[in-house]
Structure 1
Amino acid sequence: MSKAIITCAVTGGAHTPSMSEFLPVTPEEIAAESIAAAEAGAAIIHLHARDPVDGRPSGDPEIFRRFAPVIKASTNAIINISTGGGGPNMSIEDRAAAGRALKPEMCSLNMGSINLVLSEMAERERAWKHDWEVPFLKGTRGLIFRNTYADIEWILEHIGNAGGTRFEFECYDVGHLYTLQYFLEKGLVKPPLFVQTVFGLRGAMGAHVEDLLHQKRTADRLFGNDYHWSVLAAGRHQVPVATMASLMGGNVRVGLEDSLYIGRGQLARSNADQVRKMRRILDELGIEVASPDEARQMLGLKGADQVGF
């Protein structure tokens, strides 16, 4: 087996501050969590931003500039900025503004529109901290997280071609793999591809082992040796699915964006705790963990000295 890349997604935009006291919200918290995750073994740090006052998702490049340079100065990790930005209510230009402005080594790129339903999270009894949280979660029942072919091409042109940024292609369903194949055949993306298949979210692929196998078989057939496969799974599926994928030669993603828990009913106290747990599992399986520089070589990245921050 080749070495496995661990990605850590430290905060995301789906969970809200009332769900865990350990979810990083401020730029200082996001930076500290990212640095600790890198020290624990994550080669890639996947970043979203939040309003420092109330924790709502934000695509503001200036907020990203308050933590991305700190992470870069303190670690050798690859910084990967989301183009999901502040969520499905925003235009593609606003969602992707941070990636366009900061020109990181990597950005995430959703490969299709999805019904990303978070409303069930609002049904649990909680002491809600902010008045935006429940309406935000409930409102996802009526939203489509839009990622059209035109949107994808816009990001490829304005972030990829313009800034030399490569992508974590997030595929929430099998059709997204075929969309990626289309852009590969058109020459709009170049190998090696970094394909992140997503499982266990409402509106996306399930997290059954057959779902995992089907995505892997399809990607193998479409991309052959031109891609590196990684897996993220939501909630309680995070570690079991990542473990199965690692045994199949895959890379893995953990972090509080994808799951707030470290075990059954036990909140993770940090992103680094999840990275350490995943690293222990990989060690027990005899799978070596890739360093940031090894991951850069595997993924054909431009290097941290070529970013815009």
Structure 2
Amino acid sequence: MSKVIISCAVTGSVHSPTMSPYLPVTPDQIATSAIEAAEAGAAILHLHARDPETAQPTPDPNVFMQFLPRIKQSTDAVVNITTGGGQGMALDERLSAAVRASPELCSLNMGSMNFGLYPMLDKYKSFQQPWEPAYLEASRDWIFRNTFKDIEYILETLGKGHGTRFEFECYDIGHLYTLAHFLDRKLVTPPLFVQSIFGILGGQGADAENLMHAKRIADRLFGDQYRWSVMAAGRHQMPFVTMGAINGGNVRVGLEDSLYAGKGKLAQSNAEQVKIISEVLKALSLEIATPQEARDILDLKGADRVGF
């Protein structure tokens, strides 16, 4: 078993400021939180941006460039920039920061899907920002678009154009078969970094049988040509990433995926979640990969070839 790569998804586009006072939203907060996560053991930092005034998700490359250079100067961690963005963003908007920054790694969602955030409306009586309830409600009628053409465009633009490799986000079993389709066409090259995602409304549920089934199908489709990772939403985060690690996978934590550090306890930082999973991995006698080891495992181009 190779060393376990810890990814940390620092802020995302799912949660809103009402949900936690610890969610990093300004460029300074995102940079600080990301650096702390790296110092705690995260080899990969998965990054979105937010409007510093409203905390609403934004694709603006200028906002990304307010924290990317600082993160690079302060840590050796691999920077992974979203291409999923947030709801309501057009494809070119979703890619704009990655095209500007030319990172080592980007997320790439492997299929269109319903992505329901609206159940969170029932958990809060009021909201800090006027955009929050409308944003959550809009997900009731939102399709997260990732067509075959969209995926081809992203692979061409960032893969061929920038030498960027991908965290292939697979929310369902069909997404694994879509990735296999692109592998057959030689539009993606091993080692594939496959992120199995559980617990999002519209994707595969947080059921242990689903986790094991995803691993069996990925093994069948990709053999030794992939590196597996697991993430899960909300309260399922730590149990599922632990199960993934026990079964030979890498792990992803962070405030994008869960706001908690235990039952009813809000995580006060991304680093807190990284420290928790680091201790779990050590207790399981699993070794944690350094950023350079993660680069070697995933065959990344290196931090000296990025655009920030």
In the alignment, structure 2 segments of 5+ residues that lack a partner are none
SS in structure 1 of the partner of residue 166 of structure 2 = strand
Amino acid at match of 1:308: G
Structure 1 residue 26, shift from structure 2 partner:
0.2
SS in structure 2 of the partner of residue 261 of structure 1 = coil
Aligned to 1:238: 237
Aligned to 2:207: 208
Distance 1:60 1:122 in 2: 27
Distance 2:5 2:174 in 1: 25
Structure 1 residue 125, shift from structure 2 partner:
2.5
Q: Indicate yes or no: 2:77 matched with 1:83.
A: no
C-alpha deviations, 1:112-143, integer Å up to 9, x for none?
Answer: 01100000111112441100000000110101
Aligned to 1:164: 163
Amino acid at match of 2:225: D
Distance 2:176 2:124 in 1: 38
Q: Is the 8 A contact 1:199 1:233 kept in 2?
A: yes
Amino acid at match of 1:243: T
Q: Is the 8 A contact 1:18 1:126 kept in 2?
A: no
> Percent of aligned positions with the same letter in both sequences?
58
For 1:79-228, what aligned pairs fall within 5 Å after superposition?
Answer: 79-85=79-85, 87-228=86-227
Distance 2:56 2:121 in 1: 15
Aligned to 1:21: 21
Q: Indicate yes or no: 2:286 matched with 1:304.
A: no
C-alpha deviations, 1:182-222, integer Å up to 9, x for none?
Answer: 00110100000000000011111111110000100000000
Distance 1:257 1:142 in 2: 22
Structure 1 residue 88, shift from structure 2 partner:
2.8
Amino acid at match of 1:206: G
Deviates more, 1:172-181 or 1:117-126: 117-126
Aligned to 1:64: 64
C-alpha deviations, 1:222-242, integer Å up to 9, x for none?
Answer: 000000000000000000001
Distance 2:134 2:91 in 1: 22
SS in structure 1 of the partner of residue 22 of structure 2 = coil
Task: Name the TM-score, length of structure 2 as normaliser.
Answer: 0.99
Distance 2:183 2:139 in 1: 31
Task: Name the TM-score, length of structure 1 as normaliser.
Answer: 0.99
Structure 1 residue 90, shift from structure 2 partner:
1.5
Distance 1:195 1:96 in 2: 20
C-alpha deviations, 1:2-35, integer Å up to 9, x for none?
Answer: 1100000000000001100000000000000000
Distance 2:87 2:298 in 1: 28
Aligned to 2:288: 289
Distance 1:250 1:217 in 2: 12
In the alignment, structure 1 segments of 5+ residues that lack a partner are none
Distance 1:208 1:97 in 2: 35
C-alpha deviations, 1:135-169, integer Å up to 9, x for none?
Answer: 00011010100000000011101111100000000
Distance 1:96 1:237 in 2: 29
Amino acid at match of 2:18: S
Q: Indicate yes or no: 2:42 matched with 1:48.
A: no
| Corresponding pairs, count | 308
Q: CA-atom RMSD, angstroms? A: 0.6
Distance 1:185 1:304 in 2: 29
Distance 1:235 1:170 in 2: 17
Q: Indicate yes or no: 2:30 matched with 1:30.
A: yes
For 1:247-286, what aligned pairs fall within 5 Å after superposition?
Answer: 247-286=246-285
Distance 2:196 2:81 in 1: 17
